[in-house]
């Protein structure tokens, strides 16, 4: 009897959900479970704020991908004197109670993201860490001490997948796809999310925007704003770039997306961008600038949505993307736009081009990015400039030199910072020596701090004239 009742309830719930879908109303319910501690134990489950993981089962799960040849799972907590390097990816553990993939097109089948219920384990992150080998886009995290302030991840409990792979071809390449370790991170994040699939969330955040043309008069009257996001897509060979619904963003032209899709797993991070400028998958899932626009929606602005662009390499491709961006903004009737780029250097050209193109069609812009102002702080901060870009937020300088003492514990391999071509490290320099000293202390550029410039909008760090 009970079984039948439960089955009926399920059918009714599913019907309700389909009905909602048909109305075309993008409402995302993010159910939050606050993780206060993560431990290893007999079973993998979540209770009273504690996530317990059966390490052997977890390792078996990760090893289902044959490309992973050796793996360990290590937990790093805030305040510990622990250094983690090379970090390739960060993912917030989540699950969809209705069985859809957390990362459609990546961890499972394609389905529209951005509406319905998703559950998230807050306060923690899965990290994909190389057991030995690093690459250009990998970064470093210090969980405690002076180095902690340079990344967000020192504030989270990090469940580190420390792995070695059979990816021989790129073993000694500076640019690596890091496919196995990155994919392991997404899958494992979903695996851990299973622990809260059937549970009731402590809190539910609602992200809801009415269709653009069907908004309240009151909201319509407010200045309308789009967020233009430029995820990195510079590599022409597939496998390195950010993905949207599993599609490589190098082979992509800008489109209009609902911000919920970004918050809900439609995009995953890639493996190319110098680390401090990177948007990890965790960044996409929690994008502070999107959440801030949501906060102001209906109060001081009308948040229309996201124009998702990209960052391709040739001038022609950059111009083409800026045309799409400007046209969409114009046709949507946006009064203003925030443009934000996942990168520095070459991508600055796309950033400035979009800002100027938008201003040219009458859309007032603000940009959010970091800078590459040189170790002396005196170089031109962006590679191209335009006086039309008169409203910019700067979240840091990739070139600043950071010196840190040795850490008690290293997760991964410290030498990778100096040896493997990470953007913020080097093997030899006449004045500074190697990035990794014999005693374990390090000297590096901010460039190598994992998602350190928090371009997604997390931090109070900015740039000032000295």
Partner 1 sequence: MKKAIHYINQFFAGIGGEEKADHKPEIREGLVGPAMALNEVLDAQVTHTVICGDNFMGSNTDEAVEMILGFLEDKEFDIFIAGPAFQAGRYGIACGTIAKAVKEKFGVPVLTSMHIENPGVEMFKKDMPIFKGGKSAAKLKDDVKAMADYANKILNGEKTLPAAEEGFYDRGIRAQVWLESGKTGAQRGVEMLIKKLAGEEFISELPIPEKDLVAIAPPIKDLSKSKIALITTGGIVPVANPDRIQSASATRWGRYDISKMDRLKAGEYKTIHAGFDPAAADADPNVVMPVDAMKEYLKEGKIGALHDYFYSTVGTGTTQAEAARMGKEIVVKLKEDNVDAVIMTST
Partner 2 sequence: MVKEIERAGIPIVQMCNLIPVAMTVGTNKIVPTISIPYPLGDPQTPKEVQWKLRYHRVGIALDALTADIDEQTVFKVKI
Among 106, 192, 418, 454, binds partner 1 (CB under 8 A): 454
Number of residues forming the site for partner 1 (CB under 8 A): 83
**Residue pair 311/345 in contact by the 8 Å Cβ criterion:** no
Chosen from partner 2, partner 1, none, partner binding at 131 (C-beta under 5 to 8 Å by type): none
Restricted to residues 387-416, the positions that interact with partner 1 (CB under 8 A) are 387, 389-400
Burial of residue 210 (number of CB atoms within 10 Å: 0-12, 13-18, 19+): middle
Decide if residue 314 touches partner 1 (CB under 8 A).
Answer: no
Provide the minimum distance between the beta carbon of 308 and partner 2 in the complex, in angstroms, as a whole number: 23
Quick one: which of 372, 418, 436, 442 contacts partner 1 (CB under 8 A)? Answer: 372
Angular region, 431: left φ>0, alpha ψ -120 to 50, beta rest = alpha
Q: Residue 258: name its binding partner from partner 1, partner 2, none (Cβ under 5 to 8 Å by kind).
A: none
Using rule CB under 8 A, residue 434 touches partner 1: no
Our measurement of the distance from residue 87's CA atom to the centroid of its chain's CA atoms, rounded to an integer in Å, reads: 13
Q: Which residue, chain included where needed, has tokens 């009257």?
A: 221
Report DSSP letters for 270-299, one per residue: -S-S-GGG---HHHHHH-HHHHHHHHHBTT
Compute the least distance from the CB of residue 93 to partner 1, in Å: 23
Cβ-based neighbour number of residue 59 at 10 Å: 17
With CB under 5 to 8 Å by kind, the binding choice for 336 among partner 2, partner 1, none is partner 1
Report the nearest approach of partner 1 to the CB of residue 204 (Å).
Answer: 22
Of the two residues 104 and 259, which places its CB atom closer to partner 1 in the complex? 259
Interaction partner, residue 353 (partner 1, partner 2, none; CB < 5-8 Å by kind): partner 2
- The entry of partner 1, partner 2, none near residue 184 (CB within 5 to 8 angstroms by kind) is none
Classify 409 as helix, strand or coil: strand
Sheet of 255-257, strands arranged across: 255-257, 302-308, 224-230, 336-341, 364-371, 392-397
**Interface with partner 1 (CB under 8 A), residue from 233, 258, 275, 340:** 340
169 binds partner 1 (CB under 8 A): no
**375 lines the binding site for partner 1 (CB under 8 A):** yes
The interface mask with partner 1, positions 211-250, x = CB under 8 A, is: ------------x-x--------xxxx-------------
Concatenating the DSSP letter of every residue in 232-247 gives: ----SSTTSS-EETTE
330 binds partner 1 (CB under 8 A): no
In this structure, the number of other CB atoms found within 10 A of the CB of residue 54 comes to 15
* Number of residues in the chain: 466
Does 292 participate in binding partner 1 (rule CB under 8 A)? yes
Q: Which listed option, partner 1, partner 2, none, makes contact with residue 315 (CB within 5 to 8 Å by class)?
A: partner 2
Decide if 167 contacts 67 (C-beta within 8 A).
yes
Report the residue from 301, 332, 356, 410 that binds partner 1 according to the rule CB under 8 A.
Answer: 301
Distances in whole angstroms, Cα of residue 50 to Cα of each of 40, 47, 93, 119, 157: 10, 5, 14, 16, 11
Asked if 338 touches partner 1 (CB under 8 A), the answer is: yes
Q: Which does 338 bind (CB under 5 to 8 A by kind): partner 2, partner 1, none?
A: partner 1
The binding site for partner 2 (CB under 8 A) comprises 236, 313-315, 346, 349, 352-353, 380, 383-385
Neighbours of 372 (CB within 10 A): 21
| CA angle 118–93–193, rounded 5-degree value | 65
Which residue among 230, 289, 312, 435 contacts partner 1 (CB under 8 A)? 289
Sign, CA dihedral 214-219-220-226, equals: negative
Angle at 169 between CA 163 and CA 175, to 5 degrees: 75
Rule CB under 8 A: is residue 313 a binding residue for partner 1?
yes
DSSP symbol at 230: E
| Residue 390 partner contact from partner 1, partner 2, none using kind-dependent CB cut-offs of 5 to 8 Å | partner 1
Give me the least distance between CB of 382 and partner 1, in Å please: 7
Work out whether 445 is an interface residue with partner 1 (CB under 8 A): yes
Q: Which stretch binds partner 1 (CB under 8 A): 6-14, 67-75, 319-327, 442-450?
A: 442-450
Question: What is the footprint of partner 1 within residues 126-165 (CB under 8 A)?
Answer: 136, 149
Work out how close the CB of 250 gets to partner 2 at its nearest, in angstroms, rounded to a whole number.
Answer: 12
Q: Identify what 56 binds: partner 2, partner 1, none; CB under 5 to 8 Å per kind.
A: none
Is residue 252 a contact residue for partner 1 (CB under 8 A)?
A: no
Provide the minimum distance between the beta carbon of 322 and partner 2 in the complex, in angstroms, as a whole number.
11
Please provide residue 220's backbone torsions phi and psi, each rounded to the nearest 5 degrees. Answer: -55, -35
Give ∠ CA 284-289-290 in degrees, rounded to 5.
Answer: 70
Least gap, CB of 30 to partner 1 (angstroms):
17
First vs last C-alpha separation in the chain: 74
Closer CB to partner 2, residue 144 or residue 374? 374
Give the burial string for 388-402 (b: 16+ CB within 10 Å, else e): ebeebbbbbbbbbeb
**385 is an interface residue for partner 1 by CB under 8 A:** yes
């Amino acid at each position: 009897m009970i079984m039948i009742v439960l089955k009926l309830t399920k059918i009714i719930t599913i019907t309700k959900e389909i009905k909602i879908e048909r109305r075309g109303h993008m409402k995302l319910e993010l159910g939050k479970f606050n993780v206060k501690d993560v431990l290893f134990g007999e079973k993998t489950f979540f209770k009273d704020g504690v996530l317990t993981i059966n390490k052997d089962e977890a390792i078996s799960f990760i090893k289902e991908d044959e490309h992973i040849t050796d793996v360990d799972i290590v937990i790093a907590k805030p305040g510990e004197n622990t250094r983690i390097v090379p970090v390739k990816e960060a993912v917030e553990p989540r699950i969809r109670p209705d069985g859809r993939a957390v990362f459609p097109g990546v961890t499972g089948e394609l389905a529209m993201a951005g509406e319905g219920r998703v559950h998230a384990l807050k306060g923690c992150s899965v990290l994909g860490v190389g057991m030995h080998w690093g690459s250009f886009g990998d970064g470093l995290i210090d969980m405690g001490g002076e180095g902690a302030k340079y990344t967000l991840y020192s504030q989270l409990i990090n469940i580190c997948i420390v792995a070695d792979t059979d990816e021989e071809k790129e073993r000694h390449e500076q640019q690596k796809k890091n496919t196995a370790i990155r994919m392991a991170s997404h899958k494992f994040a979903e695996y851990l999310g299973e622990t809260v699939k059937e549970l009731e969330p402590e809190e539910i955040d609602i992200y809801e925007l009415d269709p653009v043309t069907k908004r309240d008069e009151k909201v319509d009257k407010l200045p309308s704003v789009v967020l233009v996001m430029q995820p990195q897509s510079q590599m022409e060979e597939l496998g390195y770039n950010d993905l949207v619904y599993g599609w490589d963003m190098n082979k992509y032209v800008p489109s209009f997306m609902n911000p919920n899709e970004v918050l809900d797993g439609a995009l995953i991070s890639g493996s190319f961008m110098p680390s401090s400028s990177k948007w990890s998958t965790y960044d996409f899932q929690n994008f502070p600038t999107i959440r801030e626009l949501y906060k102001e929606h209906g109060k001081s602005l009308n948040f229309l949505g996201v124009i998702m662009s990209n960052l391709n390499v040739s001038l022609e491709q950059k111009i083409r993307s800026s045309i799409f961006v400007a046209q969409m903004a114009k046709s949507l009737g946006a009064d203003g736009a925030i443009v934000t780029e996942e990168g520095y250097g070459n991508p600055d050209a796309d950033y400035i081009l979009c800002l100027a193109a938008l201003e040219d069609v009458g859309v007032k812009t603000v940009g959010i990015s970091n800078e590459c102002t040189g170790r002396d702080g005196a170089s031109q901060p962006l590679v191209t400039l335009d006086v039309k870009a008169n409203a910019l937020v700067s979240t840091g300088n990739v070139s600043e030199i950071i010196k840190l003492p040795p850490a008690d514990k290293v997760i991964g391999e410290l030498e990778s910072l100096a040896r493997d071509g990470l953007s913020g490290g080097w093997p030899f320099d006449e004045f500074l020596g190697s990035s990794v000293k014999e005693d374990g202390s390090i000297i590096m550029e901010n460039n190598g701090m994992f998602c350190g410039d928090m371009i997604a909008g997390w931090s109070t760090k900015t740039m000032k004239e000295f």
